[in-house]
């Protein structure tokens, strides 16, 4: 891992048990990167590196990487996926969005649908929202009783430990935007006809609960950033910073995993292709 990668990770990673105050974390911070143009070019190169590493992960076929993206509406979860994984071969990547649970999903425990969507060996799984909605929207909107929500932090840590011990590396990113930035992005969705489809009046309702959500995020970060599955708080007001930070961490993690092409039991010169 390079010094730059190490310093980016150190800046955004939440230590286990660390008390997080989101208001103290600058959503516009770009101090770890150079100018916008160079950083965008570097991110494009990282996307290619991620593809090459993913090819090795797929060939190795024994481990997986799970990338979890959480953030308020308009925080850029879709945009992150589009940029960071735009060079990754579709063969080895799955993206799973988690919306309001269906009737079938509600008939099971909240981790049922999540476990079923976890990446198979050799692949990268990306969660667009995740099981963390069970301690975010369900907490803020009182969709589940407080004592049930309270139990979930430990349950989630145990679940993620189980995944890690069974060959899945987990990276969790919270896309941290300011309330003002969200206002601008929502307004863009109203102003630009090509973005109308993205506008959901329900997002305005969630905005009313902004402070309660920030509190719920802080608790989540404090209680569920673990050695085995760390949370990262990504400054996300500037899209190019957000993309660069996440691409850097994904690439450094895959490099650390160091997947290997399997050794074959034959020599190429044993064969002649007629």
Chain positions contacting ligand ADP, by CB under 6 A: 73, 97-101, 128-129, 133-134, 137-138, 143, 200
Token pair of 26, please?
């600058």
Q: How far is the CB of 133 from ligand ADP (least distance, A)?
A: 3
Short-list 8, 84, 81, CA closest to 42: 84
C-alpha angle 112/202/93, rounded to 5°?
Answer: 40
Q: How far is the CB of 200 from ligand ADP (least distance, A)?
A: 5
Which CB sits closer to ligand ADP, 28 or 141? 141
Which CB sits closer to ligand ADP, 87 or 143? 143
Which CB sits closer to ligand ADP, 100 or 116? 100
- 89: Cβ–Cβ under 8 A, 6 or more apart, which residues? 51, 54, 55, 58
The residue behind tokens 């509600």 is: 106
Q: How far is the CB of 33 from ligand ADP (least distance, A)?
A: 26
Relative to beta strand 93-97, strand 64-71 is unpaired
- First-to-last alpha carbon distance for the chain, in angstroms, is 45
| 8 A C-beta contact, residue 245 and residue 32 | yes
Q: How far is the CB of 205 from ligand ADP (least distance, A)?
A: 9
Which CB sits closer to ligand ADP, 73 or 181? 73
Q: How far is the CB of 138 from ligand ADP (least distance, A)?
A: 5
Q: How far is the CB of 141 from ligand ADP (least distance, A)?
A: 7
Which CB sits closer to ligand ADP, 138 or 160? 138
* Nearest residue to ligand ADP, scored by beta-carbon proximity: 133
Which CB sits closer to ligand ADP, 139 or 223? 139
What's the rounded Cα separation, in Å, for the pair 140 and 146? 10
What's the rounded Cα separation, in Å, for the pair 189 and 18? 36
What's the rounded Cα separation, in Å, for the pair 54 and 250? 11
């Amino acid at each position: 891992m390079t010094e730059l990668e190490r310093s980016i990770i150190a800046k955004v990673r939440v230590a286990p048990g660390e008390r997080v105050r989101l208001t103290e974390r600058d959503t516009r911070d770009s101090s770890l990167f150079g100018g916008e143009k160079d950083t965008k070019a570097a991110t494009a190169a990282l996307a290619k590196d991620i593809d090459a590493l993913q090819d090795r992960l797929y060939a190795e076929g024994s481990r997986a990487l799970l990338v979890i993206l959480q953030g308020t509406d308009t925080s850029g979860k879709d945009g992150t996926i589009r940029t960071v994984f735009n060079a990754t071969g579709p063969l080895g990547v799955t993206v799973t969005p988690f919306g309001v649970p269906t009737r079938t999903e509600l008939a099971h425990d909240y981790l049922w649908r999540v476990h079923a969507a976890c990446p198979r060996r050799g692949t990268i799984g990306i969660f667009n929202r995740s099981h963390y909605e069970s301690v975010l929207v369900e907490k803020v909107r009182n969709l589940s009783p407080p004592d049930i929500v309270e139990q979930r932090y430990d349950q989630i840590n145990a679940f993620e430990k189980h995944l890690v011990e069974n060959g899945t590396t987990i990276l969790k990113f919270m896309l941290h935007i300011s309330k003002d930035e969200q206002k601008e992005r929502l307004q863009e969705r109203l102003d630009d006809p090509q973005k109308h489809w993205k506008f959901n009046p329900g997002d305005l309702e969630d905005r009313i609960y902004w402070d309660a959500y920030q509190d719920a995020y802080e608790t989540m970060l404090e209680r569920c950033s673990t050695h085995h599955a760390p949370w990262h708080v990504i400054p996300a007001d500037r899209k190019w910073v957000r993309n660069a930070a996440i691409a850097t961490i994904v690439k450094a993690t895959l490099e650390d995993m160091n997947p290997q092409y399997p050794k074959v039991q034959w020599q190429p010169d044993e064969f002649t292709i007629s």
